[in-house]
A = this chain, B = another copy of it.
């Protein structure tokens, strides 16, 4: 009675080992940015608000997370929202504010692109293009983003298998862009206490199946700020190469995802905990 989730005859052009799969003895791929490497000895933290809300907001957050040791700044300018009535993001204006924040802090900027036609515009501002969970199987977008030659942070679809995630990475790699970071962000299950179920198994599984760097997003993976630090520690303990963390100075006023955003005090505390866990694995922050 076994099944395959998606039963497809692979074309004659399919290689014995897809590009995203780790060969025997193959070393980890490192993604290279001016600010440093992703996927190496150092654990990297990319932090920031769910949505870029204003110039002041993003500069305040960037400056704080930089001081705490963050490597990158996350922030959505174009926001994919379930409802068309929800805040859709600050859009082009938001990209400009992100660029300002990079200039003032030196942080690597990570932001989402949703539309193939927008890749050029977003790539001008971003150091890393994020493909969001709802876009993991948006194949025209994967190809367009890949061609920008920017590093791609590829988030797992909220109901995608690890095999499907690796095939989506393959779309990018086949365009000649080898700078792909895989990101576990929680999957949809029956559990009701948390927004998603962070799939901790995915961390060692992806590290074994693939040579690409693996990040974790415990903010979406739990959906509640009180659980973020614990799951962040767990992800690093399991072998993740970095974290994506939602931070907001006043979470209760955030235009989106306030429920899962850490305030500054909690973020600082989490960074201290992560430092200790990383050290227990002979890694540093």
A116 on the B face (CB < 8 A): yes
Query: Which of B5, B9, B15 interacts with A190 by CB under 8 Å?
Result: B5
Among the stretches A62-70, A99-107, A167-175, the one at the interface with B is: A167-175
Q: A3-B194, A200-B231, A208-B227 are in contact. List 5 more A-B contacts (CB 8 A).
A: A7-B223, A158-B159, A190-B190, A203-B234, A276-B280
When each residue 114-125 of chain A gets 1 if its CB lies under 8 Å from chain B and 0 otherwise, what string results? 111110000000
Cross-chain pairs A/B with CB under 8 angstroms, 26 sampled: A1-B162, A1-B192, A3-B192, A5-B188, A5-B192, A6-B82, A7-B257, A7-B259, A8-B86, A9-B87, A10-B83, A82-B164, A83-B167, A83-B170, A116-B116, A116-B117, A118-B140, A134-B137, A162-B193, A193-B201, A198-B200, A203-B234, A208-B226, A277-B277, A277-B280, A279-B280
Distance A3 CA – B189 CA, assembled complex (angstroms):
12
Among the stretches A35-43, A52-60, A235-243, A263-271, the one at the interface with B is: A235-243
When each residue 143-160 of chain A gets 1 if its CB lies under 8 Å from chain B and 0 otherwise, what string results? 000000000000000110
Q: A197 CB to closest chain B CB, in angstroms? A: 5
Q: A243 CB to closest chain B CB, in angstroms? A: 13
- A190/B171 in contact, CB under 8 A: no
List of B residues within 8 angstroms of A234 by Cβ: 200, 203, 234-235, 237-238
- A139/B201 in contact, CB under 8 A: no
**In the A-B complex, the 9 residue pairs with the closest CB atoms:** A159-B159, A14-B85, A237-B237, A204-B230, A234-B234, A115-B140, A200-B200, A234-B238, A134-B137
Query: Which of B83, B192, B279 interacts with A161 by CB under 8 Å?
Result: B192
Select the residue from A3, A83, A171, A192 with max chain B CB neighbours within 10 A.
Answer: A83
Q: A151 CB to closest chain B CB, in angstroms? A: 19
- B8/A83 in contact, CB under 8 A: yes
When each residue 191-226 of chain A gets 1 if its CB lies under 8 Å from chain B and 0 otherwise, what string results? 111110111111111001100000000000111001
A11 on the B face (CB < 8 A): yes
Query: Which of B5, B11, B230 interacts with A239 by CB under 8 Å?
Result: B230
Given contacts A86-B10, A159-B158, A277-B280, contact A226 B201 (CB under 8 A): no
Distance A239 CA – B135 CA, assembled complex (angstroms):
32
Given contacts A117-B116, A134-B138, A234-B237, contact A84 B170 (CB under 8 A): yes
Q: A231 CB to closest chain B CB, in angstroms? A: 6
A25 on the B face (CB < 8 A): no
List of B residues within 8 angstroms of A138 by Cβ: 114, 134-135, 138
List of B residues within 8 angstroms of A257 by Cβ: 7
Q: A271 CB to closest chain B CB, in angstroms? A: 14
